[in-house]
Amino acid sequence: MLPVLDQSFWPRARKAITALHKAGVIHGDVRLENFAIANGNVKVIDLGACRQGSRAEQIAELAEFDKLKEACDAEQEDDGGEQDDDEEEQDDDEEEQ
């Protein structure tokens, strides 16, 4: 299960990746575990796979980032609408009273 992320995380994380790209650097391992939040700022971490890259590689990496966001959003939507059996029984009991 992925952590619940504030929606402001995604634009800030994309901005962090874009900052690397402006310096001509490709991160090379874009995944949720490679972002950290420090003092309210999103940081890109684990720079071991970084390398110089072309504009085409930058675009591909941003597309990879966008897929990561979509996957996380979809998982959070799936988790958000489900109740376990105990919660459903409690809701039924409250309605009967």
The mean per-residue pLDDT over the stretch 17-44 comes to 94
pLDDT of residue 5: 72
Residue 54 sits in a domain whose CATH number is 1.10.510.10
pLDDT in tens, 40-83: 899 999 999 999 999 999 999 999 999 999 998 888 888 764 54
Q: Distance of CA 69 to CAs 10, 21, 90, Å? A: 7, 18, 34
Q: Which residue has the tokens 């939507």?
A: 77
In a domain, 84, yes or no: no
In a domain, 18, yes or no: yes
pLDDT of residue 94: 52
In a domain, 13, yes or no: yes
In a domain, 20, yes or no: yes
Give the rounded distance of the alpha carbon of 37 from its chain centre: 12
In a domain, 95, yes or no: no
Does residue 28 register a pLDDT over 50?
yes
Alpha helices for 1-97 (secondary structure H): 9-22, 55-80, 85-96
Domain count for the chain, please give it: 1
In a domain, 97, yes or no: no
Owning domain of residue 2: 1-71
